Structure 1
Amino acid sequence: MNLLQTRPILTIERNLTDLIDRTFRKAARVATLDYKNELPNRVRQGFRSRTFALQLDKLITELILQSFSYADKQAKQLTAAAPELNPSYVLTEEAVRLSGELSKECAESVVRMLVEDAIYYESPRALANRITDLWGGEKYRAERFARTFTADVATASTVSRYRQLGIRYMEFNAEVDDKTTAQCRCLDGTIFDLEKGSVDAYRPPLHMHCRSGLIPITEDEYDKSREFENRDFSTTLDDPKEVDRAFKQIGKFNDNYRVSKLIIDKDLAARYMFEKGFSVSIETP
């Protein structure tokens, strides 16, 4: 089963959706009809607040712990050397600081998502009628952001854990059907060497609502021709030009929405502790 389909991750995703939904609804209570300027400013204030950062930090910590647990279980299928997981952790000042920075990125990503949905092209009167429903119904936008965010953090955390456990190779695994994007179809079956940096740029998610994942493989399953650095991607899609467009879309997604650059090794170490109640301090750069 894909990590992103497990019940704990889905629960975290729902909790994050609710947090984003509450924050946005509060931000949407604008005082004037100048939505084009006031709404993004209020969104930034709401998502950059310390309250949002602290709540987000708790969800990130739980997400990382669940990702580690999943990685350990998967690793044990490959090797008996994986240690048992002791799910105790602490929140350090560094972790909270990083979440504060992360909340700023969330704010910009939410604003960018609203702009891409073209809500600012409507007249103030039409927009005023839409504002109350903008995040309503199935909470489509909040769910889309939460699903992508949790996928990004969870996958980054599992890659970090596999590296800690000495697992070297992971394979890109896409759900191939009529909904599969060119990005995921192109990378399906690609093998990443965790000693190289390509996995950090081309691991899922590669777009909003990405369903792809990574699975660890043994060295016996390793195929050099399918390694990212060696693979001929021009043959993965019917049109070679579509391959170029797919990689450009991945680059655009990384620039606009990739948030896991803040999920770094020292932060993981601070969040995940092997002894209950053990506290550490980390020097900020």
Structure 2
Amino acid sequence: MSVLKHAGKQQVRLGGHLHLHSGLKRTTSAMARASSTSDRDLMKDSSPALSLDNIRSSLIRQEDTIIFNFIERAQFAKNDAVYTPDAVPVPGFDSRGQRYSLLQYVLHETEQLHAKLRRYTSPDEHPFFEVAAPLVLPPITYPPILAPCAEQININDKVMHVYLSEVLPGITTPGDDSNYGSAGVLDVLCLQALSKRIHYGKFVAEAKFRSQTEEYTRLIRAQDADGIMALLTDKAVEKKVNWRERYSTGCKCLRVRRSVLHAGAKLPFHTLPQPTTNQKMTGELMER
């Protein structure tokens, strides 16, 4: 069990790319499974979850998923009505009695369905809403890789805030095209992908701690938050990752544009994904 949980107030590195603030003592342990290992394999042996090769390949896949989802969401206008309570009279209310926005409603209902399929029993998945739906599949017992406090780490409120206030304005055009359903569904995909990638930082932190246990233990006992962050951060790797995200986003945008044009679709040029906007947004997001 990692002693990172005893660290004082620090920044959450969130997998080496996206900063959201919390206590490092709450971001200690790894998630109990990498997406490249099956549930059955993990039940037998949890060691692949902390394999650097598995971590690397999982991060790349997750980031590619985020990029594709951003590109898909960028096909529609921002559609402020999707995020405004009462703009669309959905049959859902929060604990204060305020009607959900369309996005909140779609996200809530999606999570309730996914919860029945045990999505949120997996340590690498974190719901935005409280889920209490009964399982329709038998539960899976995961090996205890995580420290107990890791189960309480859920910063999806911050993920939601950053998505609504920065990501959406960065990848969409202002205006209303009435495609509220499509926008809401794609928003859910974006949020789920971002949440998984960000919380995967617990996994990365545990792997790094295990690779340099003595150094981290010394810094933790000294309550040296800056020293821990310096040890966690690899500037050269981050620069490469930032370049990869910008390059990858540009390539994917161009690929989508070519596919649409080759198919003979009669779409206005400005409605096709633009590499510059998505590249800039994705690069900045991963760099923070």
| TM-score normalised per structure 2 | 0.32
> RCO higher in 1 or 2 (8 Å CA, sep ≥ 6)?
2
